[in-house]
Amino acid sequence: MLETKLNMPLLGDDFPEISVDTTHGPMNIPADLKGQWFVLFSHPADFTPVCTTEFVGFQSRFDQFEELGCKLIGMSVDQVFSHIKWVQWIKEELNVEIKFPIVAANDSIALKLGMLHPGKGTNTVRAVFIVDPKGKVRLIMYYPQEVGRNMDEIVRAVKALQVSDKQGAVAADWPNNELIGDRIIVPPAKDIKTAEKRSEEYECYDWWFCHKPLEK
Residue 1 has pLDDT above 50, yes or no: no
pLDDT tens sequence across 24-40: 999 999 999 999 999 99
Q: What is the pLDDT of residue 120?
A: 57
**Contact between residue 186 and residue 202 where contact means Cβ atoms under 8 Å apart:** yes
What predicted TM-score, i.e. pTM, was given to this entire model? 0.90
Which has the minimum average pLDDT: 8-12, 24-28, 155-159, 188-192?
8-12
pLDDT band for position 2 (50/70/90)? very low
User: What percentage of the chain carries pLDDT values higher than 70?
Assistant: 93
Residue tagged active-site, from 51, 70, 204, 210: 51
Which has the minimum average pLDDT: 96-100, 109-113, 139-143?
109-113
pLDDT tens sequence across 116-136: 666 655 566 788 999 999 999
* Rounded Cα distance, 69 and 93, in Å: 30
The mean per-residue pLDDT over the stretch 56-72 comes to: 97
The mean per-residue pLDDT over the stretch 185-204 comes to: 92
Catalytic residue at 70? no
More confident residue, 5 or 71: 71
| Domains delineated in the chain | 18-149 (3.40.30.10), 168-212 (3.30.1020.10)
Residue 6 has pLDDT above 70, yes or no: no
Residue 152 has pLDDT above 70, yes or no: yes
pLDDT band for position 107 (50/70/90)? confident
User: What percentage of the chain carries pLDDT values higher than 90?
Assistant: 72
The mean per-residue pLDDT over the stretch 4-22 comes to: 83
Rounded mean pLDDT of the chain?
A: 90
Q: What is the pLDDT of residue 125?
A: 72
pLDDT tens sequence across 131-149: 999 999 999 998 888 888 9
Q: What is the pLDDT of residue 110?
A: 75
